[in-house]
Amino acid sequence: MNKHRKLCLWSWLRAGLLCALVAAPPAQAQDAASLKARHVALREALASNAFQRPLWLESKENAGDLKGDIYVRLDRPFAAVGPALDEVEHWCDILILHINVKQCRATPAKTGDTLSLVVGRKVDQPVAEAYAVEFAFQVVADRADYLQVSLNADEGPLGTSRYRIVLEVVALDAGRSFLHLSYSYAYGLAARVAMQGYLATIGRDKVGFSVVGRQADGQPVYIGSTRGVVERNTMRYYLAIEAYLGALAAPLPQQLDKRLNDWHSAVERYPLQLHELDRAEYLSLKRAEIRRQRALGG
Protein backbone atom coordinates (compact mmCIF):
# COMPACT_ATOMS: atom_id res chain seq x y z
CA MET A 1 0.00 0.00 0.00
CA ASN A 2 1.46 3.39 -0.97
CA LYS A 3 2.01 6.15 1.56
CA HIS A 4 -0.90 8.31 0.39
CA ARG A 5 -3.46 5.52 0.55
CA LYS A 6 -2.18 4.37 3.94
CA LEU A 7 -2.61 7.91 5.28
CA CYS A 8 -6.03 7.99 3.69
CA LEU A 9 -7.06 4.79 5.44
CA TRP A 10 -5.79 5.99 8.81
CA SER A 11 -7.63 9.27 8.30
CA TRP A 12 -10.77 7.35 7.42
CA LEU A 13 -10.44 5.19 10.51
CA ARG A 14 -9.64 8.25 12.61
CA ALA A 15 -12.81 9.99 11.58
CA GLY A 16 -14.71 6.76 12.06
CA LEU A 17 -16.23 6.76 8.60
CA LEU A 18 -15.80 3.02 8.42
CA CYS A 19 -17.86 2.89 11.56
CA ALA A 20 -20.43 5.19 10.13
CA LEU A 21 -21.01 3.48 6.87
CA VAL A 22 -21.09 -0.14 7.76
CA ALA A 23 -23.36 -2.96 8.63
CA ALA A 24 -24.29 -5.40 11.36
CA PRO A 25 -27.46 -6.61 13.07
CA PRO A 26 -30.71 -4.80 12.27
CA ALA A 27 -31.43 -1.53 14.04
CA GLN A 28 -33.10 -1.86 17.43
CA ALA A 29 -36.33 -0.15 16.44
CA GLN A 30 -37.91 -1.47 13.26
CA ASP A 31 -41.31 0.22 13.13
CA ALA A 32 -43.19 3.25 14.42
CA ALA A 33 -44.47 1.54 17.57
CA SER A 34 -41.02 0.23 18.52
CA LEU A 35 -39.39 3.61 18.00
CA LYS A 36 -42.06 5.34 20.08
CA ALA A 37 -41.51 2.77 22.82
CA ARG A 38 -37.78 3.51 22.70
CA HIS A 39 -38.59 7.21 23.15
CA VAL A 40 -40.54 6.38 26.28
CA ALA A 41 -37.76 4.14 27.62
CA LEU A 42 -35.20 6.92 27.13
CA ARG A 43 -37.35 9.63 28.69
CA GLU A 44 -35.07 10.23 31.68
CA ALA A 45 -31.87 10.04 29.62
CA LEU A 46 -33.25 12.53 27.11
CA ALA A 47 -34.30 14.91 29.87
CA SER A 48 -30.94 15.00 31.68
CA ASN A 49 -27.58 14.34 30.02
CA ALA A 50 -24.19 15.89 29.28
CA PHE A 51 -25.36 17.12 25.87
CA GLN A 52 -27.95 19.39 27.54
CA ARG A 53 -30.44 18.48 24.83
CA PRO A 54 -32.84 15.56 24.26
CA LEU A 55 -30.16 13.29 22.78
CA TRP A 56 -28.80 9.86 23.70
CA LEU A 57 -25.69 8.22 22.26
CA GLU A 58 -24.47 4.66 22.78
CA SER A 59 -21.99 2.25 21.22
CA LYS A 60 -21.17 -1.46 21.18
CA GLU A 61 -18.31 -3.71 20.07
CA ASN A 62 -18.70 -7.46 19.74
CA ALA A 63 -16.52 -10.03 17.97
CA GLY A 64 -15.41 -7.90 15.05
CA ASP A 65 -18.54 -5.75 14.81
CA LEU A 66 -18.74 -2.08 15.80
CA LYS A 67 -22.02 -0.22 16.19
CA GLY A 68 -23.11 3.25 17.22
CA ASP A 69 -26.62 4.56 17.83
CA ILE A 70 -27.96 8.04 18.37
CA TYR A 71 -31.50 8.93 19.46
CA VAL A 72 -32.76 12.50 19.47
CA ARG A 73 -36.09 14.25 19.89
CA LEU A 74 -36.55 16.99 17.30
CA ASP A 75 -38.67 20.10 17.60
CA ARG A 76 -39.63 19.61 13.97
CA PRO A 77 -42.79 18.03 12.56
CA PHE A 78 -42.52 14.70 10.82
CA ALA A 79 -44.16 16.30 7.79
CA ALA A 80 -40.98 18.35 7.34
CA VAL A 81 -38.39 15.77 8.42
CA GLY A 82 -39.63 12.71 6.54
CA PRO A 83 -39.73 14.20 3.02
CA ALA A 84 -36.30 15.78 3.56
CA LEU A 85 -34.64 12.41 4.21
CA ASP A 86 -36.42 9.96 1.92
CA GLU A 87 -34.76 10.90 -1.40
CA VAL A 88 -31.34 9.54 -2.36
CA GLU A 89 -30.23 12.90 -3.83
CA HIS A 90 -30.70 14.63 -0.47
CA TRP A 91 -28.17 12.31 1.17
CA CYS A 92 -25.25 13.66 -0.83
CA ASP A 93 -26.03 17.11 0.59
CA ILE A 94 -25.80 15.51 4.04
CA LEU A 95 -22.80 13.22 3.60
CA ILE A 96 -20.55 15.78 1.91
CA LEU A 97 -20.55 17.84 5.12
CA HIS A 98 -18.35 15.20 6.77
CA ILE A 99 -14.73 16.26 6.79
CA ASN A 100 -13.55 13.00 5.19
CA VAL A 101 -16.14 12.69 2.41
CA LYS A 102 -14.42 14.02 -0.69
CA GLN A 103 -17.14 13.33 -3.23
CA CYS A 104 -20.70 11.96 -3.35
CA ARG A 105 -22.86 11.05 -6.31
CA ALA A 106 -26.46 9.86 -6.11
CA THR A 107 -27.87 7.69 -8.89
CA PRO A 108 -31.63 7.06 -8.84
CA ALA A 109 -32.50 3.99 -10.89
CA LYS A 110 -35.34 1.54 -11.41
CA THR A 111 -32.99 -1.28 -10.48
CA GLY A 112 -32.09 0.44 -7.20
CA ASP A 113 -30.76 3.79 -6.00
CA THR A 114 -27.05 4.07 -5.22
CA LEU A 115 -24.75 6.50 -3.42
CA SER A 116 -21.16 6.50 -4.64
CA LEU A 117 -18.76 7.99 -2.08
CA VAL A 118 -15.09 8.86 -2.21
CA VAL A 119 -13.56 9.08 1.24
CA GLY A 120 -10.14 10.37 2.20
CA ARG A 121 -8.07 12.65 4.40
CA LYS A 122 -8.98 15.95 6.03
CA VAL A 123 -7.00 17.82 3.38
CA ASP A 124 -7.54 18.49 -0.30
CA GLN A 125 -6.32 15.41 -2.15
CA PRO A 126 -6.71 13.77 -5.56
CA VAL A 127 -9.66 11.43 -5.74
CA ALA A 128 -7.33 8.70 -7.02
CA GLU A 129 -5.60 8.65 -3.62
CA ALA A 130 -8.87 8.15 -1.72
CA TYR A 131 -11.27 5.21 -1.41
CA ALA A 132 -14.46 4.68 -3.43
CA VAL A 133 -17.36 2.83 -1.83
CA GLU A 134 -20.80 2.30 -3.37
CA PHE A 135 -23.89 2.01 -1.22
CA ALA A 136 -27.30 0.69 -2.09
CA PHE A 137 -29.95 3.14 -0.88
CA GLN A 138 -33.35 1.78 0.10
CA VAL A 139 -36.50 3.32 1.54
CA VAL A 140 -37.57 0.49 3.82
CA ALA A 141 -40.73 2.19 5.11
CA ASP A 142 -42.35 5.50 4.16
CA ARG A 143 -45.65 6.12 5.91
CA ALA A 144 -47.55 9.15 7.14
CA ASP A 145 -45.91 8.95 10.58
CA TYR A 146 -42.78 6.84 10.08
CA LEU A 147 -39.75 6.69 7.76
CA GLN A 148 -36.90 4.19 7.59
CA VAL A 149 -34.06 4.30 5.07
CA SER A 150 -30.91 2.19 4.82
CA LEU A 151 -27.58 2.43 3.05
CA ASN A 152 -25.64 -0.80 2.55
CA ALA A 153 -22.31 -1.85 1.07
CA ASP A 154 -21.08 -5.42 1.18
CA GLU A 155 -17.37 -4.63 1.05
CA GLY A 156 -14.89 -1.92 1.96
CA PRO A 157 -11.10 -1.54 2.00
CA LEU A 158 -8.75 -3.78 3.96
CA GLY A 159 -11.19 -6.49 4.90
CA THR A 160 -14.06 -4.35 6.17
CA SER A 161 -17.54 -5.55 5.23
CA ARG A 162 -21.31 -5.31 5.77
CA TYR A 163 -21.40 -1.54 5.85
CA ARG A 164 -24.72 -0.08 6.93
CA ILE A 165 -26.43 3.14 7.88
CA VAL A 166 -30.02 2.98 9.11
CA LEU A 167 -32.08 6.07 9.78
CA GLU A 168 -35.62 6.05 11.12
CA VAL A 169 -37.92 8.85 12.21
CA VAL A 170 -41.36 8.74 13.82
CA ALA A 171 -43.92 11.45 14.48
CA LEU A 172 -44.50 12.14 18.19
CA ASP A 173 -47.12 14.86 17.82
CA ALA A 174 -47.95 17.73 15.45
CA GLY A 175 -44.67 19.56 16.11
CA ARG A 176 -42.13 16.94 17.23
CA SER A 177 -40.34 13.90 15.82
CA PHE A 178 -38.03 11.23 17.23
CA LEU A 179 -34.99 10.20 15.17
CA HIS A 180 -32.73 7.16 15.43
CA LEU A 181 -29.49 6.87 13.47
CA SER A 182 -27.51 3.61 13.52
CA TYR A 183 -24.01 2.86 12.19
CA SER A 184 -22.31 -0.50 12.11
CA TYR A 185 -19.69 -2.54 10.29
CA ALA A 186 -17.61 -5.70 10.43
CA TYR A 187 -13.83 -5.69 10.24
CA GLY A 188 -11.18 -8.28 9.48
CA LEU A 189 -7.55 -8.68 10.45
CA ALA A 190 -6.12 -6.04 8.12
CA ALA A 191 -8.56 -3.38 9.31
CA ARG A 192 -7.89 -4.36 12.93
CA VAL A 193 -4.14 -3.89 12.44
CA ALA A 194 -4.65 -0.51 10.76
CA MET A 195 -6.95 0.63 13.55
CA GLN A 196 -4.50 -0.51 16.22
CA GLY A 197 -1.77 1.45 14.48
CA TYR A 198 -3.91 4.58 14.42
CA LEU A 199 -4.97 4.22 18.07
CA ALA A 200 -1.35 3.76 19.14
CA THR A 201 -0.16 6.91 17.34
CA ILE A 202 -2.14 9.90 16.10
CA GLY A 203 -5.38 8.63 17.61
CA ARG A 204 -4.10 7.79 21.07
CA ASP A 205 -5.56 10.91 22.73
CA LYS A 206 -8.92 10.83 20.95
CA VAL A 207 -12.01 10.08 23.04
CA GLY A 208 -15.70 9.51 22.59
CA PHE A 209 -18.66 10.77 24.63
CA SER A 210 -19.50 7.96 27.04
CA VAL A 211 -18.21 8.53 30.57
CA VAL A 212 -16.43 5.43 31.90
CA GLY A 213 -15.02 6.87 35.14
CA ARG A 214 -13.98 9.94 37.08
CA GLN A 215 -10.62 11.49 37.81
CA ALA A 216 -9.60 12.38 41.37
CA ASP A 217 -10.95 15.91 40.88
CA GLY A 218 -14.27 14.60 39.60
CA GLN A 219 -13.64 15.33 35.92
CA PRO A 220 -15.07 12.70 33.55
CA VAL A 221 -12.99 10.01 31.89
CA TYR A 222 -14.32 9.41 28.40
CA ILE A 223 -14.27 6.18 26.44
CA GLY A 224 -11.46 5.79 23.93
CA SER A 225 -10.32 3.08 21.53
CA THR A 226 -12.63 1.81 18.78
CA ARG A 227 -15.86 2.68 20.59
CA GLY A 228 -14.62 6.24 20.89
CA VAL A 229 -14.19 6.27 17.11
CA VAL A 230 -17.77 5.06 16.62
CA GLU A 231 -19.20 7.62 19.00
CA ARG A 232 -17.38 10.54 17.41
CA ASN A 233 -18.58 9.61 14.00
CA THR A 234 -22.13 8.94 15.14
CA MET A 235 -22.27 12.48 16.41
CA ARG A 236 -20.66 13.94 13.27
CA TYR A 237 -23.24 12.33 11.04
CA TYR A 238 -26.17 13.27 13.20
CA LEU A 239 -24.97 16.87 13.19
CA ALA A 240 -24.80 16.71 9.38
CA ILE A 241 -28.46 15.68 9.29
CA GLU A 242 -29.30 18.46 11.73
CA ALA A 243 -27.43 21.04 9.63
CA TYR A 244 -29.21 19.84 6.48
CA LEU A 245 -32.65 20.09 8.08
CA GLY A 246 -31.88 23.49 9.57
CA ALA A 247 -30.86 24.97 6.22
CA LEU A 248 -34.04 24.02 4.36
CA ALA A 249 -35.85 27.17 5.46
CA ALA A 250 -33.17 29.41 3.94
CA PRO A 251 -33.40 30.65 0.34
CA LEU A 252 -32.01 27.98 -2.00
CA PRO A 253 -28.84 29.94 -2.99
CA GLN A 254 -27.93 30.29 0.70
CA GLN A 255 -28.56 26.72 1.82
CA LEU A 256 -25.13 25.28 1.06
CA ASP A 257 -23.21 27.94 2.98
CA LYS A 258 -25.64 27.64 5.87
CA ARG A 259 -25.21 23.86 5.99
CA LEU A 260 -21.43 24.12 5.99
CA ASN A 261 -21.28 26.84 8.63
CA ASP A 262 -23.89 25.19 10.84
CA TRP A 263 -22.10 21.82 10.71
CA HIS A 264 -18.81 23.38 11.73
CA SER A 265 -20.46 25.36 14.55
CA ALA A 266 -22.15 22.18 15.76
CA VAL A 267 -19.00 20.04 15.92
CA GLU A 268 -17.13 22.84 17.68
CA ARG A 269 -19.60 22.55 20.57
CA TYR A 270 -17.65 19.36 21.38
CA PRO A 271 -14.01 20.37 20.76
CA LEU A 272 -12.49 17.61 22.90
CA GLN A 273 -14.09 14.95 20.73
CA LEU A 274 -14.70 16.58 17.34
CA HIS A 275 -12.38 19.49 16.60
CA GLU A 276 -10.28 18.95 13.47
CA LEU A 277 -10.10 22.13 11.35
CA ASP A 278 -10.69 25.82 11.94
CA ARG A 279 -13.76 27.22 10.22
CA ALA A 280 -11.84 28.91 7.39
CA GLU A 281 -9.90 25.69 6.66
CA TYR A 282 -13.05 23.58 6.68
CA LEU A 283 -15.02 25.96 4.44
CA SER A 284 -12.15 26.25 1.96
CA LEU A 285 -11.77 22.46 1.80
CA LYS A 286 -15.46 21.75 1.35
CA ARG A 287 -16.10 24.47 -1.20
CA ALA A 288 -13.24 23.16 -3.32
CA GLU A 289 -14.53 19.59 -3.10
CA ILE A 290 -18.09 20.62 -3.95
CA ARG A 291 -16.91 22.66 -6.96
CA ARG A 292 -15.00 19.61 -8.19
CA GLN A 293 -18.03 17.42 -7.63
CA ARG A 294 -20.33 19.78 -9.55
CA ALA A 295 -17.85 19.97 -12.41
CA LEU A 296 -18.19 16.20 -12.74
CA GLY A 297 -21.96 16.48 -12.81
CA GLY A 298 -22.54 15.45 -9.21
Residue 49 sits at φ, ψ, to 5 deg, of -160, 170
Give the tens place of pLDDT for each residue, 250-267.
999 999 999 999 999 999
Edge-to-edge strands, sheet with 161-171? 55-62, 65-74, 177-186, 161-171, 146-155, 131-142, 113-119, 101-107
Confidence at residue 206, expressed as pLDDT on a 0 to 100 scale: 86
Confidence at residue 27, expressed as pLDDT on a 0 to 100 scale: 39
Instruction: Name residue 163's amino acid.
Output: Y
- Helix spans in the chain (H): 3-15, 17-20, 32-41, 43-47, 78-85, 88-95, 189-200, 225-247, 252-267, 271-274, 279-295
CB 22 within 8 A of CB 157: no
Pick the range with the lowest mean pLDDT from 62-76, 80-94, 236-250: 62-76
The Cα angle at residue 205 between residues 201 and 208, in degrees rounded to 5: 125
CB 180 within 8 A of CB 40: no
Give the tens place of pLDDT for each residue, 271-290.
999 999 999 999 999 999 99
Q: What is the number of other CB atoms lying within 10 angstroms of the CB of residue 145?
A: 14
Give the tens place of pLDDT for each residue, 185-242.
777 666 666 666 666 566 567 898 988 889 999 898 888 888 888 899 889 999 999 9
